[in-house]
Amino acid sequence: MLPHILPNEDEEAAEELAKAFRKRGVKVYAGTKVKSITKTENGTSVLVENEKGEETLEAEITLVAIGFKPNSKGIGLEEAGVELDKRGFVVIDDRMATTAPGVWAIGDLTGKLLLAHTASAMGLIAAENIAGLEERKLDYRMIPRAVFSDPQVASFGYTEAQAKEAGFAVKTGRFNFMANGKALGLGAGTGFAKVIIDEKYGELLGATLVGPEVSELLPELVLAQANELTAEEIARSVHIHPSLSEAILEAAEAALGHGIHG
Calpha distance 186→214 (Å, rounded): 13
Calpha distance 62→49 (Å, rounded): 16
Instruction: Give the closest residue to 189 by CA, choosing from 176, 178, 181, 180.
Output: 178
Calpha distance 183→176 (Å, rounded): 10
Cβ burial of 71 (10 Å; 0-12, 13-18, 19+) is exposed
**Mean pLDDT within 211-225:** 97
Q: Where are the alpha helices (DSSP H) in the chain?
A: 11-23, 116-130, 160-165, 181-185, 218-226, 231-236, 246-255
Q: Which pLDDT tens digit goes with each residue over 109-136?
A: 999 999 999 999 999 999 999 999 998 9
Partners of residue 18 on adjacent β-strands: none
C-alpha distances out from residue 51 to 14, 27, 34, 54, Å: 20, 17, 13, 8
Calpha distance 221→145 (Å, rounded): 12
Calpha distance 92→111 (Å, rounded): 10
* Catalytic option among 239, 241, 258, 261: 241
Mean pLDDT of the chain: 95
Collapsing DSSP states into helix, strand and coil, what is residue 212? coil
57 pLDDT higher than 90 = yes
258 pLDDT higher than 90 = no
Whether 117 sits among the annotated catalytic residues: the reply is no
**Mean pLDDT within 139-163:** 96
Q: How large a percentage of the chain has pLDDT more than 70?
A: 99
Collapsing DSSP states into helix, strand and coil, what is residue 248? helix
193 pLDDT higher than 80 = yes
**Mean pLDDT within 204-220:** 97
Q: Which pLDDT score, from 0 to 100, does residue 262 have?
A: 58
**Mean pLDDT within 168-177:** 96
Calpha distance 43→32 (Å, rounded): 21
82 pLDDT higher than 80 = yes
Angle at the Cα of 26 from the Cα atoms of 64 and 162, rounded to 5 degrees: 70
Q: How large a percentage of the chain has pLDDT more than 90?
A: 94
Calpha distance 6→8 (Å, rounded): 6
In the chain, the domains with their CATH numbers are 11-59 (no CATH), 68-138 (3.50.50.60), 142-255 (3.30.390.30)
**Mean pLDDT within 176-201:** 95
Instruction: Give the closest residue to 126 by CA, choosing from 140, 112, 107.
Output: 107
